[in-house]
Structure 1
Amino acid sequence: MANPGRFTARKLDPSLSARALYGAELRYYRERGGLTLGELAEKLHIELSFLARIEQGERRFDPELAAALDELLDTGGFFTRNISAGRSAPNPDRLTPLADWERLAATIKEWDAALVPGLLQTDAYAAAVADTYAPLLSDRPTRYRWEARLSRTPVLHDPHGPRYLVVLGETALRRVLGSPATMAEQLHGIATLVRRQRITVRVLPLGATPHPTGTDGALRLMTYADETPTLHFTTHDTGTHYTDPGAVNLAHLTHDLLCAAALPPDASLALVEAAALGFRAQAPEAEAEAGREHARPLPGGAYDPAGDPPPGRDRRYSPHD
């Protein structure tokens, strides 16, 4: 069962969606009645984790549960009257930031031929990406994006977070962004997550031919317990959401074919770690120390992957969401 602590510490933003508002109202009425999540779940004879996910807007309401809550919490019929909101799917284009969709996901599948994806990026690598791909942007939006990355909850370090599978082009391991120290730190962080069994990484060798639909940009596929799967497709200057079944199915096929052409997980990890050692050997000690200052260490030597700029705010910068 999921740890309820990860739900109770964070208040839901009711502006995210109709269902988010519904979940926020559930919390309001529960707290007004002086009940903890555990106490309310016991009275309703349901799992604590299920109730917590409803309160966070992650699961749909059943009409029977709505009626029971109206009676138990004396809501004046609020939940029954607004059951359509409680069962609605949030619109991915209106969720801000993109991290909210990532946090809700059951699985996340990614492909990037040229860069380490945003969910895996260390602070120093993310800064190098920004310097490389957006050198002409003003300081203000650059700072905004940087702060957004640092404020993101690292979903890949959450033991209850989504299952994550990424296919990386070998170019992403070989291309130096920032410095050799930056690259060594970045690849070490990826290897640490793999060894903790939080993520699966497969590397597409330079000699392999990617599926044609995977050469135009990076893709992120997110699936949910009871929602429509979402595809987030990015190029160097745009990022677009899709929920159309045809686009999502094509992306699934593309990712499956890329996995088939990529190295197995063990060989991929060995390649990542070998590349990290190679970069570390190139990095002077002073440079390596400077690189470490950019990263936020986590217990066990891992580094916190940085996140993405919120959709709708300067979407010219996307490498790579």
Structure 2
Amino acid sequence: MDTVIGTVGAIGEQGGAGYGAEDTADPGNGFLRCFGRQMKLLREAAGLTQAELAVLVGYGEAQIASVEQGRRIPKPELVDAVDRAVGAGGVLSAMKAELGRARYPGFFREYVRLEAEATELHAYDSQVVNGLLQCEEYARAVFAMWRPLLDEDTVEQRLAARLDRQKLFARRPAPLLSFVIEEAVIRRPLGGPHILRCQLEQLILVGHQRNVEIQVMPIDRDEHAGLAGAFTLILSKTRRRMGYVEAQSQSAIHSDPVKVQNLEATYGILRAQALTPKESMGWIETLLGEL
């Protein structure tokens, strides 16, 4: 059976995970509004104004108002602080996991769940460095230059969510991770030369982990198996093989064996055409030295 999850006007991994028309009906947004109303009712029951609650929890009044209006996703520590301040008895804190999932566009949440539990993850990237490999400055630049422009709150929410995904590297037992990245992607100075330096250092740092292999696809290759675009292969903890594909206007998680096998074959050829992991680390270190 093939599972397909589609969207309109948003990008999760290859781009900025921006808001498009689909967010109006996004169930995550509905949950945020519900959480905000619950928080407001509990605050009022405790006899506190927004300003008084802000002082008690150490956050700004505007932030409290944004959370209550469902316009901002609160950090876990703010949720816990508000829960204690209004005497919610853990009611608000119990919603932290769902709030965490609400940080992602609706179409991307299932992929994030699968990614977090994967025993193997293999990705080919042709537009930007994979989100799991992005340094904070690079990720911020990607979100900041997304069109149409994202507001600052959304940029910060998406940035926090992307960095949170990188906890995958610290998970034990460690998953097996590999990445094939286009040379042009690595050379592209998104945000400026200083951010490129940060990103190259991040690739070197992550690439030397024993469970991670990074390969560079040189520009000068006269044969290339990845012309159809970027994709990710996932092996779940239940040994289920899936493929994730994303483009300008849609994304899909495939579980049909034929489709997944085709992607696996393509990825195998891509790895054979790219520089080896050792050669790739040397290439990235040389590029860093030239900056």
Above 0.5 in TM-score? Answer: yes
Q: How does 1:220-299 map to 2 (within 5 A)?
A: 220-279=232-291
2:184 partner SS: helix
Q: Percent identity?
A: 26
The residue number in structure 2 matching 1:191 is 204
1:259 partner SS: helix
- Matched to 1:232, the amino acid is Y
The residue number in structure 1 matching 2:157 is 144
CA separation of 1:124 and 1:237: change in aligned 2, threshold 3 A: farther
Alpha-carbon distance in structure 2 between the residues aligned to 1:267 and 1:174 = 16
Alpha-carbon distance in structure 2 between the residues aligned to 1:173 and 1:242 = 28
CA separation of 1:97 and 1:145: change in aligned 2, threshold 3 A: farther
- Matched to 1:247, the amino acid is K
CA separation of 1:135 and 1:98: change in aligned 2, threshold 3 A: same
Deviations 1:179-206 (A, max 9, x none): 2111111111111122232310111100
Q: CA deviation at 1:104?
A: 1.4
The residue number in structure 1 matching 2:21 is none
Q: CA deviation at 1:278?
A: 2.4
Q: CA deviation at 1:237?
A: 4.5
Query: Runs ≥4 in structure 1, deviation > 6 angstroms?
Result: none
Asked if 2 retains the 8 angstrom alpha-carbon contact of 1:113 and 1:215, the reply is no
Alpha-carbon distance in structure 1 between the residues aligned to 2:238 and 2:164 = 27
- Matched to 1:230, the amino acid is M
The residue number in structure 2 matching 1:125 is 138
Alpha-carbon distance in structure 1 between the residues aligned to 2:285 and 2:195 = 14
Asked if 1 retains the 8 angstrom alpha-carbon contact of 2:144 and 2:155, the reply is no
Gaps of 5+ in 1: 1-92, 280-321
CA separation of 1:127 and 1:238: change in aligned 2, threshold 3 A: farther
Deviations 1:261-294 (A, max 9, x none): 1111211111111122223xxxxxxxxxxxxxxx
The residue number in structure 2 matching 1:201 is 214
1:247 partner SS: helix
2:272 partner SS: helix
Give the length in aligned residue pairs: 186
The residue number in structure 2 matching 1:296 is none
Q: Does 1:218 align with 2:211?
A: no
The residue number in structure 1 matching 2:90 is none
Alpha-carbon distance in structure 1 between the residues aligned to 2:203 and 2:183 = 14
CA separation of 1:95 and 1:170: change in aligned 2, threshold 3 A: closer
Q: Which 10-residue stretch deviates more, 173-182 or 220-229?
A: 220-229
Asked if 2 retains the 8 angstrom alpha-carbon contact of 1:217 and 1:236, the reply is no
- Matched to 1:187, the amino acid is L
Asked if 2 retains the 8 angstrom alpha-carbon contact of 1:184 and 1:275, the reply is no
Asked if 1 retains the 8 angstrom alpha-carbon contact of 2:111 and 2:253, the reply is no
Alpha-carbon distance in structure 2 between the residues aligned to 1:140 and 1:223 = 34
Asked if 2 retains the 8 angstrom alpha-carbon contact of 1:103 and 1:161, the reply is no
Q: CA deviation at 1:153?
A: 5.0
TM-score by length of 1: 0.53
**Residue 101 of structure 1 is aligned with which of 103, 114, 120?**
114
Asked if 2 retains the 8 angstrom alpha-carbon contact of 1:223 and 1:229, the reply is yes
The residue number in structure 1 matching 2:168 is 155
- Matched to 1:160, the amino acid is P
Asked if 1 retains the 8 angstrom alpha-carbon contact of 2:124 and 2:231, the reply is yes
Q: CA deviation at 1:176?
A: 0.6
Alpha-carbon distance in structure 2 between the residues aligned to 1:157 and 1:275 = 27
2:145 partner SS: helix
Q: Does 1:116 align with 2:116?
A: no
Alpha-carbon distance in structure 1 between the residues aligned to 2:186 and 2:108 = 31
